[in-house]
């Protein structure tokens, strides 16, 4: 196989691996923008493979750059001028692939910008109506998942505060039980595509 074809395949492999590395975090944002929730956690099973996919992306794109400079140094001679390089052999193509891969890999760290702040200020009439419930949630894998759950719960009336954590696999919700209920909150969380497995009140 020629160096040119190998370099092209390496670049595309790196790009695919970079996108796949964050594929578990992209569906929640798409679901929010599209106004659907059922498919939000569809690719959460890929989260354990994220470090390996990132490694593959770095190695593949690094190899494509190596081939580019190796081919360039081979052609830097006083021999007759070769034909114009194909677009996938250009430096601009590799820069584009590299930047897109970097943006894809870092997606979980800036995905929160796609979630508008929908937290509402509520007037607490009776402090005894305020409850805090912890919901155990299955399927969250990154900060993007946290934002999706928080956004869905904040759509309800009477929500005072939501603290969602994918590392703890839960969401602690403080709410006014005269305006909403545990069942409503559970439905809101389940509508995102993640699943409430348990809930308990916090005193």
Query: How does the average pLDDT of the chain come out, rounded?
Result: 79
Q: Say how far apart CA 77 and CA 5 lie, in whole Å.
A: 22
Q: Say how far apart CA 8 and CA 56 lie, in whole Å.
A: 15
Give the domain ranges of the chain.
Answer: 3-113, 116-202
Quick check: 22 pLDDT over 90?
no
Q: Say how far apart CA 163 and CA 11 lie, in whole Å.
A: 40
The length of the chain is: 203
Please state the rounded mean pLDDT for residues 155-177. Answer: 93
Quick check: 58 pLDDT over 80?
yes
- Give me the sign of the Cα torsion angle 154, 157, 163, 164: negative
Q: Domain 116-202 belongs to what architecture?
A: 2-Layer Sandwich (3.30)
pLDDT category at 130 given cuts 50, 70, 90 is very high
Q: Which two tokens stand for residue 18?
A: 């970079």
């Amino acid at each position: 196989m020629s160096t040119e074809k190998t370099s092209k395949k390496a670049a595309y492999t790196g790009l695919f691996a970079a996108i796949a590395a964050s594929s578990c975090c992209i569906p929640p944002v798409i679901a929010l923008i599209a106004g659907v929730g059922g498919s939000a956690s569809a690719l959460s099973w890929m989260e354990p493979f994220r470090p390996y996919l990132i490694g593959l992306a770095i190695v593949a794109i690094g190899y494509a750059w190596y081939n580019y400079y190796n081919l360039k140094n081979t052609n830097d001679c006083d021999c007759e001028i070769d034909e114009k390089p194909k677009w996938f052999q250009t430096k601009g193509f590799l820069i584009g692939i590299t930047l897109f891969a970097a943006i894809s890999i870092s997606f979980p760290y800036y995905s929160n910008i796609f979630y508008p702040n929908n937290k509402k200020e509520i007037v607490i009439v009776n402090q005894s109506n305020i409850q805090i419930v912890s919901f155990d949630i299955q399927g969250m894998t990154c900060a993007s998942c946290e934002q999706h759950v928080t956004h869905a719960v904040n759509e309800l009336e009477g929500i005072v505060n939501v603290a969602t954590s994918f590392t703890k696999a839960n969401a602690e919700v403080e709410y006014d039980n005269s305006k909403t209920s545990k069942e409503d909150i559970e439905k809101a969380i389940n509508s995102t595509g993640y699943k409430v497995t348990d809930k308990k009140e916090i005193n």
